[in-house]
Structure 1
């Protein structure tokens, strides 16, 4: 378990699923990280895809085998012993228990009734009695082991049987799910839902008062092979679309194109290109040529945008001219040309994945939480023997030993004391005198 936890921590620190060139650059041999770690230490054992690497899966298999062996050789025999009705026929054996006491002039039947009222299962055989409660606490460790095996099986299925893909789609276009999905392991089998076509009906964004993007949305329609719409949903960040085991997440956005009119002609679709900036800010740009595009020195109107709500325009000399919102349709004069920004077309960034191991992992964690709580229940056992007019009582528990001793004292205080017939006669004579 320590080794598995260590590899999981390492898989969190090391970026997963990147191209080999990424690790060549980040972990070079001539300048190893911490003086030791190079790309060979990562790529050779498969730590660039830690959770599907042979080392990690092999350790999971060893841990599962260890849990199953522990369950078979230790936990199941303990449960079998705990379920037996184990009577003690010797007062000396009973007095050797963790808790022991004697009740003079008492009845084992009265003790049994009091124990039953406190939730004990009571069994008698002649002068002997056996009682227990909390047997579920003995079964719980088996449930804990089974739950852990389920979690590891689900994690293995997720690592080796999933598909994942990413796509950027402009508004109004579509794609087929299977065209963008890539298998993650040898247990990945493409389901029929991969033939489903996804159409981006609309992409739009909401903004803060400061102008920053607050949320972005994609209105998606899913079509089967016959062209029938089988589902439609508008997704946003943290609100994905789920269909047939495939989950589509809204993860990013882009600027696809500008629709522009020049001197009343058009509209023309101008592709917007992302421009590299320092930091996480986005910036997109395009050029509307004003000269023959075949010349060696093409000049035109430059257009820049940080989002879909405003376009900044510059003339052929690179001088700022003005700002226009695509929804305003207001013309602007630049170098003798009337320009109108008709529309801004965004593109949605979607992540798609299938993960057949998720239900197994969730079921495993649910069972683990339940069985862990049950395992804290004390399994208590009580033996008693009617030795003449005295009842010898002894007991033990696997948890909460101090509370068990206090409980036993309270229960034994409730057992009534028997009074013999001769004592009753003597008491009557003394009262008459």
Structure 2
């Protein structure tokens, strides 16, 4: 039993909780620095040539679950440990402190009052009348009073004792919400071209909603750099075939859409297709693919210039506005085309670019723990506000020794701003 009590005391120790908070903060920073929930080959591509912090290559990052920090077993274990520490601290310290504050303490002799932090003695011809005046003054100022014939006890600000309990409870609720979201949440990023739709499945694989993209635009600065992305969305019931319209909205960066527990973020953009005319052919809409080896945000397509598939050329571009660069197999630039411009002959084949269709990168997140996280924040904030309230206790004893002048002995305690309380007490007695 003693060993168990020592273990409970160690777990609920304030220093251990502070260390846990620091470790959780550091690991949260690691989760911010390392991309999360990406394919395994991305971590090998990023960290095999240059290990993270010079220590961890791709295998090390994956082995330590740093690719999904917030849902890893060790991170959830840290949260559970901190929650247990807060619960034990509340049970061993904050709850007994609240119970003690709710109990009335009856001091019956002036000597007991003289040992308190703040003590004053008022000489008066009628100590009981002064005691009655003090009781009325305290009641007008919102104090709770327990009255006896020759003495009284008063207290004010008991809600301040509830504050630490609410802070601990809020943090535990917040961590429960975070853990639930990490384990039960869903996250997916999809690129959607205008005019296309995407079915949103539930956990059983049945279609619940359909997301349709009507229009996607990229706002650029004078230098051509993207500043904002905007998507016009429709959410339809079921698989979208004849389903009724449930929601129509616009999303952009930092302005997501929340609907039925799903949050849609405007996360990225890409180039989806290019419309070409080769010679006298009809207009061809061909898909573009990313070429990271050529640079960041470079898309392109390889096209043959002969009927037998020989003499291919590479069409590459970094913006829906163009230009479209055409390179031969030897890497030499052959031509530059502008979307909507005139055709240019490349290796005897006239090529014209009609248009380039951008795609909206939409991040879909379903986090069932969000209500608990918000509730935890609200509870913790309320507790923090209540903790600022000072809990004050005051006692007064009327003493009338035989043949001597009467005295009113007043003393008190305060858990916050004791200096202010010590200055306030003489001012209160001066009103008697």
State the TM bucket, normalised to the shorter chain. 0.7 to 0.9
Deviation (angstroms), 1:272: 2.3
Select 1:244's aligned residue among 246, 249, 260. Answer: 260
2:403 alignment partner in structure 1: none
Please state whether the residue corresponding to 1:369 is helix, strand or coil. helix
2:72 alignment partner in structure 1: 53
1:169 aligns with 2:192: yes
Q: Distance in 1 between matches of 2:323 and 2:146?
A: 86
Alpha-carbon displacement from aligned partner over 1:149-199 (angstroms, at most 9, x marks no partner)? 111111111211110111122222222122xxxxxxxxxx83899621112
Deviation (angstroms), 1:346: 1.5
Correspondence 1:22-101 to 2 at 5 A: 43-44=62-63, 46-101=65-120
Alpha-carbon displacement from aligned partner over 1:252-271 (angstroms, at most 9, x marks no partner)? 11112222234554111133
Deviation (angstroms), 1:391: 1.1
Q: Distance in 2 between matches of 1:278 and 1:390?
A: 92
Q: Distance in 2 between matches of 1:303 and 1:48?
A: 35
**1:175–1:198 CA contact under 8 A, matched in 2:** yes
1:17 aligns with 2:37: yes
Q: Distance in 2 between matches of 1:145 and 1:267?
A: 65
Q: Distance in 1 between matches of 2:224 and 2:266?
A: 21
1:266 alignment partner in structure 2: 282
1:129 aligns with 2:152: yes
Correspondence 1:104-123 to 2 at 5 A: 104-105=123-124, 106=127, 107-123=130-146
Correspondence 1:172-191 to 2 at 5 A: 172-178=195-201, 190=203
Alpha-carbon displacement from aligned partner over 1:188-213 (angstroms, at most 9, x marks no partner)? x8389962111222222222122222
Correspondence 1:10-409 to 2 at 5 A: 10-13=27-30, 15=34, 16-20=36-40, 43-44=62-63, 46-105=65-124, 106=127, 107-178=130-201, 190=203, 195-225=208-238, 227-263=243-279, 265-276=281-292, 280=296, 282-287=297-302, 289-292=304-307, 294-295=308-309, 297-299=310-312, 303-312=315-324, 314=326, 320-326=334-340, 330-334=341-345, 339-388=351-400, 389-409=406-426
Count matched residues: 397
**2:145–2:152 CA contact under 8 A, matched in 1:** yes
- Change in CA separation of 1:387 and 1:53 when aligned onto 2, cut-off 3 Å: same
1:5 aligns with 2:5: no
Farther off after superposition, 62-71 or 345-354: 62-71
Q: Distance in 1 between matches of 2:430 and 2:283?
A: 96
Farther off after superposition, 164-173 or 263-272: 263-272
- Change in CA separation of 1:192 and 1:19 when aligned onto 2, cut-off 3 Å: closer
Instruction: Note the residue ranges of structure 1 that are not aligned, 5 or more in a row.
Output: 179-188, 416-433
Please state whether the residue corresponding to 1:239 is helix, strand or coil. coil
**1:315–1:334 CA contact under 8 A, matched in 2:** no
Q: Distance in 2 between matches of 1:5 and 1:193?
A: 43
Please state whether the residue corresponding to 1:177 is helix, strand or coil. strand
Question: What TM-score, normalized to structure 1?
Answer: 0.82
Instruction: Note the residue ranges of structure 2 that are not aligned, 5 or more in a row.
Output: 1-16, 401-405
- Change in CA separation of 1:373 and 1:238 when aligned onto 2, cut-off 3 Å: same
Deviation (angstroms), 1:20: 4.6
Q: Distance in 1 between matches of 2:318 and 2:43?
A: 32
Question: What TM-score, normalized to structure 2?
Answer: 0.82
**2:337–2:352 CA contact under 8 A, matched in 1:** no
Farther off after superposition, 309-318 or 160-169: 309-318
Deviation (angstroms), 1:368: 1.5
Q: Distance in 1 between matches of 2:60 and 2:99?
A: 48
Q: Distance in 2 between matches of 1:48 and 1:307?
A: 31
Farther off after superposition, 358-367 or 397-406: 358-367
Deviation (angstroms), 1:370: 2.4
Deviation (angstroms), 1:114: 2.1
